[in-house]
């Protein structure tokens, strides 16, 4: 791949030619931007490779705020040094995909008063890792066509790569980092997926939202005195503005945690069955968000209609069918039943007891533990007598033994 913009022709002076080259490079870059927008990316911006500053990430890991996401520890060095991911990398193309839509998490109870679950807005789509990947593959073809880039000249990621996507997005000017830790866009509010192309090609950098917005000190740059997100967090997960302690975050607990959800956090989970958007929803910057074009997304609005009772009744076959192609399949049936037990326990709806008592004899100890908690919380403990007699798992027995005041 031809990396630079420089070059000298026999007759012109170096600076005149460089100026001409820079203009040509800029024009070409704008054509590239237009072509990537046409592929479905709502934001396409460029940053040159520079130090991002590792203090924030290192401090987060040192404090254990990454919970058991040990892969964050293992990849920290790469996240801070993109040339370890791609040698001779020179620039980052930061891409954003708007997912603001009226498919917001279902927070309104149905007409029948049946308890509903709230799903993170992003989850009410086919898995964005898969659908945005299609756009990234197409972007690779454009880079090849326009710049002669081979597969070795760039790395393209959405979410799962060892890159600090929000930091690069702030550098490239997609938005600013809010006190809720989100990359917030003036055009899309909080509803922007990020994707990254690390490349050996040089690009002219775009400006950040404000010139000084290049450092961690600028977290909350356009928040002013607002602290809504910090106050609204249902589990007090913010260790400081812009710093999420994953151990307390509902998103971590309901998606990434594969084990028991700490008892003291369960009430705060409320009816959030998968992920959490509270600190995003309350942000006043969302009022500028326009509906997305959905070129790289496939909405699955029907999922918002599922009731807690529907989820508690899922069989392996039905789970596979309903959540096919969605990110929710990643938590597997046992993980989703665990979350649904918590939502049911918090609902106060004793008509769910029958399903919960059945789950207290489920084959998975993870499900049994949370079902026992929910049954006890709804006051149905006597119905657990036979399940308790058969129980041998230490974690489940601990749920039977927990003092009622801690439920
Ligand atoms: C680990 C992870 C999580 C963890 C930890 C969250 C966290 N706050 O770190 C958990 C599981 C809790 C989580 C939850 C969610 N996540 Co998440 N997550 C990630 C992941 C994989 C890594 C994030 C990371 O590096 N964290 C470590 C901390 C220390 O870094 P950071 O928060 O990114 O902050 C850095 C920069 O902001 C920088 N910084 C701070 N201020 C400033 C200012 C300037 C000017 C600069 C340059 C840098 C800078 O400092 C930090 C460290 O360097 C990224 C994908 C990726 N590869 O980056 C997605 C990602 C951050 N998640 C995303 C989403 C959508 C979510 C949820 C909304 C999902 C949900 N609905 O349940 C929640 C939101 C929770 C929240 N308020 O942060 C999106 C965010 C998009 C956006 N617009 O910001 C990402 C980018 C995935 C994607 N590709 O779209 N997530
Ligand atoms: S995602 Fe939810 S639990 Fe996590 S920090 Fe935001 S409001 Fe708190
Ligand atoms: S809710 Fe307020 S403080 Fe939080 S990110 Fe939005 S503007 Fe900033």
The residue whose CA has the least distance to atom 1 of ligand 3 is 283
pLDDT over 90 percentage in the chain: 84
In a domain, 106, yes or no: no
Looking at the fold, whether 201 and 335 belong to one and the same domain comes out as no
- pLDDT tier at 284, thresholds 50, 70, 90: very high
Looking at the fold, whether 204 and 316 belong to one and the same domain comes out as no
Ligand 1 pocket mutation pick from 164, 233, 288, 328 by most atoms within 8 angstroms of CB: 164
In a domain, 262, yes or no: no
Known catalytic residues are 159
In a domain, 212, yes or no: yes
CB 249 near ligand 1, within 6 Å = yes
- pLDDT tier at 402, thresholds 50, 70, 90: very high
Q: Which of 198, 218, 238 is the last residue of a domain?
A: 218
In a domain, 67, yes or no: yes
Is residue 328 predicted with pLDDT exceeding 50? yes
**Domain total in the chain:** 2
Which has more confidence, 7 or 197?
197
Give the per-residue pLDDT at 274: 98
Looking at the fold, whether 209 and 313 belong to one and the same domain comes out as no
Q: Which of 218, 252, 276 is the last residue of a domain?
A: 218
Give the per-residue pLDDT at 103: 47
pTM value is 0.94
Atom of ligand 1 nearest to the CA of 66: 5
pLDDT tens digits, one per residue of 21-33: 889 999 999 999 9
The residue whose CA has the least distance to atom 1 of ligand 2 is 276
In a domain, 361, yes or no: yes
Give the per-residue pLDDT at 10: 38
Is residue 214 predicted with pLDDT exceeding 70? no
Give the per-residue pLDDT at 110: 46
Segment among 135-144, 241-250, 301-310 with least mean pLDDT: 301-310
Mean pLDDT on 358-366: 98
CB 286 near ligand 3, within 6 Å = no
Most confident of the following: 216-230, 289-303, 312-326: 312-326
Looking at the fold, whether 74 and 196 belong to one and the same domain comes out as yes
Segment among 16-30, 136-150, 160-174 with least mean pLDDT: 16-30
In a domain, 267, yes or no: no
Chain centroid to CA 238: how far? 16
Per the DSSP assignment, residues forming a β-bridge with 193 are: 97
Looking at the fold, whether 195 and 59 belong to one and the same domain comes out as yes
For the chain, the C-alpha Rg in angstroms (whole number) is 24
Looking at the fold, whether 210 and 328 belong to one and the same domain comes out as no
In a domain, 114, yes or no: no
Looking at the fold, whether 321 and 211 belong to one and the same domain comes out as no
Q: Tell me what the pLDDT averaged over the chain comes to.
A: 92
Which has more confidence, 185 or 217?
185
Q: Which ligand is nearest to the CA of 175?
A: 1
Looking at the fold, whether 329 and 209 belong to one and the same domain comes out as no
Give the per-residue pLDDT at 17: 62
Looking at the fold, whether 204 and 312 belong to one and the same domain comes out as no
Give the per-residue pLDDT at 367: 98
Mean pLDDT on 74-80: 95
Give the per-residue pLDDT at 212: 58
Mean pLDDT on 251-270: 98
User: 401: domain range?
Assistant: 308-407
Looking at the fold, whether 181 and 329 belong to one and the same domain comes out as no
In a domain, 197, yes or no: yes
Give the per-residue pLDDT at 53: 75
Give the per-residue pLDDT at 7: 36
Give the per-residue pLDDT at 54: 80
The residue whose CA has the least distance to atom 10 of ligand 1 is 252
Looking at the fold, whether 321 and 203 belong to one and the same domain comes out as no
C-alpha 247 to ligand 3 mean position (Å): 21
pLDDT over 70 percentage in the chain: 91
Looking at the fold, whether 60 and 158 belong to one and the same domain comes out as yes
Give the per-residue pLDDT at 116: 85
Q: Which of 218, 252, 286 is the last residue of a domain?
A: 218
């Amino acid at each position: 791949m031809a990396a630079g913009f420089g070059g000298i022709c026999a007759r012109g002076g170096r600076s005149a030619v460089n100026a001409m080259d820079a203009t040509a490079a800029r024009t070409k870059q704008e054509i590239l931007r237009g072509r990537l927008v046409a592929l479905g990316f709502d934001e396409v911006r460029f940053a040159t490779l520079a130090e991002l500053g590792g203090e924030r990430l290192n401090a987060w890991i040192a404090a254990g705020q990454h919970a058991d996401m040990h892969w964050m520890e293992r990849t920290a060095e790469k996240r801070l040094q993109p040339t370890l991911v791609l040698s001779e990398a020179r620039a980052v193309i930061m891409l954003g995909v708007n997912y603001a839509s009226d498919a917001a998490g279902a927070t309104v109870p149905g007409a029948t008063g049946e308890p509903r679950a709230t799903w993170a807005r992003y989850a009410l789509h086919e898995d964005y890792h898969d659908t945005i990947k299609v756009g990234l593959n197409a972007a690779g073809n454009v880079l090849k066509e326009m710049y002669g880039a081979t597969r070795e000249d760039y790395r393209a990621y959405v979410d799962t790569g060892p890159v600090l996507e929000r930091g690069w997005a702030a550098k490239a000017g997609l938005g600013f980092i809010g006190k809720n830790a989100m990359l917030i866009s003036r055009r899309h509010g909080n509803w922007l997926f990020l994707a990254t192309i690390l490349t050996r090609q040089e690009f002219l950098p775009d400006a950040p939202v404000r010139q000084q917005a290049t450092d961690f000190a600028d977290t909350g740059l356009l928040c002013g005195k607002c602290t809504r997100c910090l106050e609204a967090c249902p589990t007090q997960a913010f260790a400081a503005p812009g710093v999420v302690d994953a151990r307390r975050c509902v998103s971590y607990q309901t998606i990434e945690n594969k084990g028991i959800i700490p008892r003291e956090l369960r009430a705060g989970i409320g009816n959030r069955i998968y992920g959490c958007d509270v600190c995003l929803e309350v942000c006043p910057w969302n009022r500028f968000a326009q509906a997305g074009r959905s070129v790289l997304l496939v909405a699955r609005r029907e999922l918002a209609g599922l009731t807690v009772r529907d989820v508690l009744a899922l069989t392996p076959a039905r789970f596979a069918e309903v959540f096919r192609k969605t990110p929710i399949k990643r938590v597997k049936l046992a993980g989703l039943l665990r979350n649904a037990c918590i939502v049911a326990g918090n609902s106060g709806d004793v008509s769910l007891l029958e399903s919960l008592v059945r789950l207290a004899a489920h084959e998975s100890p993870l499900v049994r533990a949370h079902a026992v908690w929910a049954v006890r919380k709804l006051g149905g403990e006597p119905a657990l007598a036979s399940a308790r007699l058969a129980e041998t798992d230490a974690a489940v027995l601990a749920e039977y033994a927990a003092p009622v005041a801690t439920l």
